A and B are shown apart, each in its own frame.
Chain A
Amino acid sequence: MVRRIRTHGLLAGSVGLAGVSIWAAVTAAPVPPIRFREVAAAAGVSFVLENHPTERKHMIETMPGGIAVFDYDGDGRPDIYFTNGADIPSLEKTSPKYWNRLYRNEGDWKFRDVTEQAGVAGAGYSMGAAVGDFDNDGHPDLFVAGVNRNVLYRNLGNGKFEDVTAKAGMQSGEWAVAAGWFDYDRDGRLDLWVVHYAKWSTAEDRYCGDAGRGIRIYCHPKYFTGLANSLYRNRGDGTFEDVSAKAGLAKFPGRGMSVAFADYDGDGWPDVFVTNDNMPNFLFHNLGNGTFEEVALPAGAALRDDGKPVASMGAEFKDYDNDGRPDILVTALAGETFPLFRNAGKGNFIDATLKSRMGPLTVRHSGWGVGLFDFNNDGWKDLFSANSHVNDRVEMFESAVYKEANSVLANAGGVFQDVSAEAGLTLVKAHRGAAFADFNGDGRVDAVVSSLGAPAELWENVSPEARHWLILRLCGTRSNRDGIGARIRIADQYAEMTTAAGYASSSAWGVHFGLDAVAQIPRIEIRWPSGVLQILRDVRADQVLTVTEPN
């Protein structure tokens, strides 16, 4: 049996002492159960991801599926936005079936499609979504990344959005998969990082597969010329400046698939991790002067310990082992494992894929969307991954499967256990994006997952054992309004406010903490991006707490 650490009440002496654990009392115990129930149809979520598969096997067909979860109408309930494909080769949303869809959360597990009213049906072949209140007006805005066409929606605050792409100076023309909001220069305004995959057009028509048997497959990524990421600096007047070259990004072409942010070295500046498909990943260290240094290789986060690049897809940049430092988790294909890079401090990462048991548990799975959240509220972040292979004909060539059920791995003190079967994740599909939120306000983190050509799944967390929790919703004043980049400590748990989620997705609904048996939290430390340190004391658990940055 795997030994794990559980809370057994607070130790008086530990209160207020940084680095001393309230999870210190050690007992061997089974992992608290994690259970999900699929409720999409009953909840009125009928979205189908229309990727328009063709016999020509265009690479874009297998890669869409980003989801955003955010409270667009400010009613306190997280809503869901699905990105969607388009007709090929026109790359136009020629039918409503290709529309991106916004579902309003009306409470009690009822959702309503409000796409038309909100004006967010989108344009082109969409891939990823990123939520962030770029104009600091209190209404979360939305960026949609797509194939040669990106769209920036400004939330007008009245249930409608305005397409401000051109006005804002956002560019298109390349295949963007994902994006993320963060305040890289800490000026209090959110900037945008856009992840590009590769040069591609429908005219490019390499045949991959077995021509003799007429079996055409999606080409290996090596046949695609990668592209650099883009960084847009928010000028604060509704427009953005492309600072990719100035910031030092342009000289690093990759085949980017997702982006995650965290201050891995604790210098106060948010850093950027980008997954690359079959290329070493990027870790852009923020130098604090408007430029970045790519350090993935020396830091040990570019590759697993075997030195071979994998099909890195989704990413999470969070502290899985409660040592106060953000670690990096990546999803990849069957046979590659989901690499887990443990932050060992001093800018170094160590491949912990094996030690954490992530390797043995994921080596037979292919994962896209991913979330590290404490699904059983025991104080340790668990893993949820949206699974499927990239190649719909993989079974003809390899010992791997295309459609898969999703996975849940419970975190038992930094070591994972596969609890997928007990958790009830039985639907076998070509899963892609995943986003996470507490949709019904019960303190348990739920999930929403997209699948190619199939109805989306909405997984209600029905884990049976009641444990304490806290959701912090940040309201920046000197910092950006969303508090993105704020670093929060509750005892030995550490989290950063981010809306970037897994693969090409976004989850903007606060920062969730599982507290196990802790009903009253002695101290919460919030370090805002502005540098302000805010301490909250004796906070009651089991609530959604809005915290405003002191001025």
Chain B
Amino acid sequence: MLPALFLFAAQFLQGQSEDLSAKSAQARQLMASGRFEQAIPIYRQMVKAEPGNPGLLLNLGLAQHMAGHDREAIPTLESVLKAQPDSRPALISLGSARLALNQPNEAIAPLRKAVNAQPADHETRGLLASALLDAKRLDEAGVEYRELTDAVSEDPRSWYGLGMTYQATAASAFEQLQKAGATSPYVAALVADTRVQRRQFRSGFFFYNEAAKQLPNLHGIHAALADVYRKTGHSDWAAEEDAKERALPPADCKTHPAECQFAGGHDLQILTQPRRGAWSPEALYWRAKAANELAMQALFRLGQMPPSAELHQLRAEIARGQGQHLESAREWREALVLMPGDRRLRRELAASLFMAQDYRAALAEAESMLKGDSKSSEMNFIAGDSLLRLEEPERAVAYLKGALSSDPGLLAADASLGLALSRLGNHAEAVAHLEKALELDDDGSLYYQLGRAYQAMGQREKATGAMAKYQEILKKAEEQKEEVAREAQIGPPR
């Protein structure tokens, strides 16, 4: 997209002085050869020489954006748009810069405007769809992606985006369902689906049975149980569950319309039909099922296409979902070969490396990303926490403080910073961060750290309290584990 934008911007330079023309030619050459960083100071000089020239400003903004200096590019591009509100290159670059900075909500308006001005520009529509997806405006994202898959059906990016949109829709329906009632049998049925996808058959078996207890006539549950039995080598029990599924009466379509739509394969209809009031748990369940089905179809289509960055992204995400982070990192790297320098892919690569416990590689990737955007809370966190895990708390502190400065609500950074400061003997400062992060404590470790910090500061009473809390969490976790262990045995059909 850049060359087109750049040519568009070049017209603003007509009629300049010889000196400026020479600089302009030099900068243009640098931009054309991808040396954006070197073009920036030249455009700066030119803008200084002609402050009111929006064309020069636009080129500076483009160079900044292309060099990865998105935070600097944004005010430059906004200045262009003040003077020329309909400048498509500025709108597109601004949206793109916002996206690169993980600010999808702010990206939508300029991108929407650019798309409206030129509806056949599929590239820009792709950016808009991506922003809508990132902003969780999933219905709108679905509309844009469906338009793209119709218009450019061989573009893997569109199918990937559509698949991700449907996945996010399913996840959103599940979240709403959980909020409505975590103990709902529909929640159990969806959890079971996920566990089985991850090959956690014992757990899947347990949750399907939980769902079947309350919803014995829910279509698909017995078939799912049969599938678990088959995959765990119990074909006789599988046959029993298959028979139960076959014996179910057909759904009453008046009282269970979504179930009927799903059974009829009208998945898109389930997602796009207008909502009347709040969704019932049952409607949310079928919405999640339909969205999952549509996601599988879109991603299957992607899988049939020649290798693409999007296909590698998909594989990376599947591997991540299965906890195979090394494999995931390999796929992100493959994707990066096809889309070199893509910041979003690099962010994901850093995250996968971190989760694979390859802290040195994660640190290197995060530090490299921070050169372009030193304020990224995510990359600062990955760099800082990696250093902490590599036993270098002295170096970790600056990054973790950087993460919190960009995102004060990033409690994981508070937790890491608390430990880093404790290790450096700065218990008083550590306590503040540990206390702030306590809501993350699901294994008692933060209370333990807090207890040790209080102890080091001579605050015995507080130390005792924190340690008691640690033990309480530990005991509770142990009890839950025992309960799950008792329940998670694959037995005969009930």
The distance in angstroms between the C-alpha atoms of A211 and B197, with both chains bound, is 11
A360:B199 contact, CB within 8 angstroms: no
Contacts of B470 in A (CB 8 A): 307
Contacts of B452 in A (CB 8 A): 300, 305, 307, 351
Q: Which stretch from A123-131, A177-185, A372-380, A397-405 is at the chain B interface?
A: A397-405
Name the one of A305, A307, A335, A398 contacting B326, with C-beta atoms under 8 angstroms: A398
B391:A363 contact, CB within 8 angstroms: yes
Contacts of A305 in B (CB 8 A): 419, 422-423, 449, 452
Q: Report how many residues on chain A are interfacial, defined by Cβ distance under 8 Å.
A: 25
The distance in angstroms between the C-alpha atoms of A62 and B442, with both chains bound, is 30
Determine if B392 is an interface residue (Cβ-Cβ < 8 Å).
Answer: yes
A306:B419 contact, CB within 8 angstroms: yes
Contacts of A1 in B (CB 8 A): none
Nearest residue in A to B424 (C-beta to C-beta)? A354
Residues 360-405 of A contacting B (Cβ, < 8 Å): 360, 363, 396-400
Contacts of B445 in A (CB 8 A): 306-308
Name the one of A210, A222, A337 contacting B324, with C-beta atoms under 8 angstroms: A210
Residues 373-419 of B contacting A (Cβ, < 8 Å): 389-393, 419
Chain A nearest CB from B225 CB (Å) reads 18
Chain B nearest CB from A208 CB (Å) reads 11
Determine if A541 is an interface residue (Cβ-Cβ < 8 Å).
Answer: no
B447:A307 contact, CB within 8 angstroms: yes
Candidate in A351, A396, A397, A400 with the most chain B CB atoms within 10 angstroms: A397
The distance in angstroms between the C-alpha atoms of A351 and B419, with both chains bound, is 12
Contacts of A335 in B (CB 8 A): 357, 359, 389
Determine if A347 is an interface residue (Cβ-Cβ < 8 Å).
Answer: no
Nearest residue in B to A308 (C-beta to C-beta)? B445
Residues 435-494 of B contacting A (Cβ, < 8 Å): 443-449, 452, 455, 467, 470-471, 481
Q: Is the interface of B mostly helix, strand, loop or mixed?
A: helix
Determine if B322 is an interface residue (Cβ-Cβ < 8 Å).
Answer: yes
Determine if A19 is an interface residue (Cβ-Cβ < 8 Å).
Answer: no
The distance in angstroms between the C-alpha atoms of A547 and B455, with both chains bound, is 43
Nearest residue in A to B455 (C-beta to C-beta)? A300
Chain B nearest CB from A254 CB (Å) reads 12
11 contacts between A and B (CB under 8 A): A210-B322, A212-B322, A305-B423, A306-B449, A307-B446, A307-B449, A307-B470, A354-B393, A397-B326, A398-B357, A399-B357
Contacts of B444 in A (CB 8 A): 307
The distance in angstroms between the C-alpha atoms of A288 and B481, with both chains bound, is 36
A400:B357 contact, CB within 8 angstroms: yes
Binary interface encoding of chain B residues 415-436 relative to chain A, with 1 for a CB under 8 A from any of its CBs, else 0 = 0000100110000000000000
Candidate in A297, A298, A399 with the most chain B CB atoms within 10 angstroms: A399
The distance in angstroms between the C-alpha atoms of A300 and B451, with both chains bound, is 10
Q: Which 7 A-B pairs have the closest CB atoms?
A: A307-B448, A399-B358, A307-B445, A359-B391, A360-B391, A211-B199, A308-B445
Contacts of B359 in A (CB 8 A): 335, 399
Name the one of B423, B471, B481 contacting A297, with C-beta atoms under 8 angstroms: B471
Determine if B356 is an interface residue (Cβ-Cβ < 8 Å).
Answer: yes
Name the one of B199, B390, B393 contacting A210, with C-beta atoms under 8 angstroms: B199
The distance in angstroms between the C-alpha atoms of A306 and B443, with both chains bound, is 11
Contacts of B231 in A (CB 8 A): 211
Give me 18 other A-B pairs in contact (C-beta within 8 A), A211-B199, A307-B445, A353-B391 excluded: A210-B322, A297-B467, A305-B423, A305-B452, A307-B447, A307-B470, A308-B445, A335-B389, A360-B392, A363-B389, A396-B326, A397-B325, A398-B326, A398-B356, A399-B353, A399-B357, A399-B358, A399-B361
Determine if A495 is an interface residue (Cβ-Cβ < 8 Å).
Answer: no
Binary interface encoding of chain A residues 221-263 relative to chain B, with 1 for a CB under 8 A from any of its CBs, else 0 = 0100000000000000000000000000000000000000000
B391:A397 contact, CB within 8 angstroms: no
B447:A354 contact, CB within 8 angstroms: no
The distance in angstroms between the C-alpha atoms of A412 and B231, with both chains bound, is 57
A363:B357 contact, CB within 8 angstroms: no
Chain A nearest CB from B229 CB (Å) reads 15
The distance in angstroms between the C-alpha atoms of A399 and B231, with both chains bound, is 30
Contacts of B358 in A (CB 8 A): 399
Contacts of B322 in A (CB 8 A): 210, 212
Determine if A448 is an interface residue (Cβ-Cβ < 8 Å).
Answer: no
Determine if A486 is an interface residue (Cβ-Cβ < 8 Å).
Answer: no
Binary interface encoding of chain A residues 287-303 relative to chain B, with 1 for a CB under 8 A from any of its CBs, else 0 = 00000000001101001
Is the interface on chain B under 10, 10 to 19, 20 to 34, or 35 or more residues? 20 to 34
Binary interface encoding of chain B residues 343-372 relative to chain A, with 1 for a CB under 8 A from any of its CBs, else 0 = 000000000010011110100000000000
- Given A297-B471, A298-B467, A335-B389, the answer on whether A399 and B443 have CB atoms closer than 8 Å is no
Name the one of A222, A297, A360 contacting B390, with C-beta atoms under 8 angstroms: A360
Nearest residue in B to A363 (C-beta to C-beta)? B391
Binary interface encoding of chain B residues 310-348 relative to chain A, with 1 for a CB under 8 A from any of its CBs, else 0 = 000000000000101110000000000000000000000
The distance in angstroms between the C-alpha atoms of A398 and B355, with both chains bound, is 9
Contacts of B356 in A (CB 8 A): 398-399
Contacts of B357 in A (CB 8 A): 335, 398-400
The distance in angstroms between the C-alpha atoms of A399 and B364, with both chains bound, is 15
- Given A305-B449, A307-B447, A399-B358, the answer on whether A337 and B326 have CB atoms closer than 8 Å is no
Contacts of B471 in A (CB 8 A): 297
Nearest residue in A to B441 (C-beta to C-beta)? A307
The distance in angstroms between the C-alpha atoms of A307 and B455, with both chains bound, is 14
The distance in angstroms between the C-alpha atoms of A461 and B194, with both chains bound, is 56
The distance in angstroms between the C-alpha atoms of A203 and B260, with both chains bound, is 45
Name the one of B326, B353, B391, B443 contacting A354, with C-beta atoms under 8 angstroms: B391
Contacts of B390 in A (CB 8 A): 360, 363
Candidate in A212, A307, A335, A353 with the most chain B CB atoms within 10 angstroms: A307
Binary interface encoding of chain A residues 196-224 relative to chain B, with 1 for a CB under 8 A from any of its CBs, else 0 = 00000000000000111000000000100
- Given A211-B199, A396-B326, A399-B358, the answer on whether A303 and B448 have CB atoms closer than 8 Å is yes
Nearest residue in A to B231 (C-beta to C-beta)? A211
Chain B nearest CB from A518 CB (Å) reads 34
Nearest residue in B to A357 (C-beta to C-beta)? B391
Nearest residue in B to A354 (C-beta to C-beta)? B423
The distance in angstroms between the C-alpha atoms of A212 and B196, with both chains bound, is 12
Name the one of A308, A396, A400 contacting B443, with C-beta atoms under 8 angstroms: A308
- Given A307-B446, A307-B449, the answer on whether A212 and B326 have CB atoms closer than 8 Å is no
Contacts of A400 in B (CB 8 A): 357
Contacts of B446 in A (CB 8 A): 307
The distance in angstroms between the C-alpha atoms of A354 and B391, with both chains bound, is 7
The distance in angstroms between the C-alpha atoms of A353 and B448, with both chains bound, is 17
The distance in angstroms between the C-alpha atoms of A308 and B393, with both chains bound, is 17
Chain B nearest CB from A349 CB (Å) reads 11
Residues 149-188 of A contacting B (Cβ, < 8 Å): none
Chain A nearest CB from B203 CB (Å) reads 12
The distance in angstroms between the C-alpha atoms of A255 and B95, with both chains bound, is 55
Nearest residue in A to B463 (C-beta to C-beta)? A298
The distance in angstroms between the C-alpha atoms of A399 and B444, with both chains bound, is 26
Contacts of B361 in A (CB 8 A): 399
Chain A nearest CB from B353 CB (Å) reads 8
Chain A nearest CB from B25 CB (Å) reads 48
The distance in angstroms between the C-alpha atoms of A127 and B440, with both chains bound, is 40
B324:A397 contact, CB within 8 angstroms: yes
Nearest residue in B to A335 (C-beta to C-beta)? B357
The distance in angstroms between the C-alpha atoms of A535 and B471, with both chains bound, is 46
Contacts of A297 in B (CB 8 A): 467, 471
Contacts of A397 in B (CB 8 A): 324-326
Nearest residue in B to A337 (C-beta to C-beta)? B391
Contacts of B391 in A (CB 8 A): 337, 353-354, 359-360, 363
Candidate in A297, A337, A353, A396 with the most chain B CB atoms within 10 angstroms: A297
The distance in angstroms between the C-alpha atoms of A399 and B322, with both chains bound, is 16
Contacts of A298 in B (CB 8 A): 467
Contacts of B325 in A (CB 8 A): 397
Chain A nearest CB from B132 CB (Å) reads 33
B422:A212 contact, CB within 8 angstroms: no
Name the one of A212, A306, A398 contacting B199, with C-beta atoms under 8 angstroms: A212
Nearest residue in B to A360 (C-beta to C-beta)? B391
The distance in angstroms between the C-alpha atoms of A363 and B358, with both chains bound, is 12
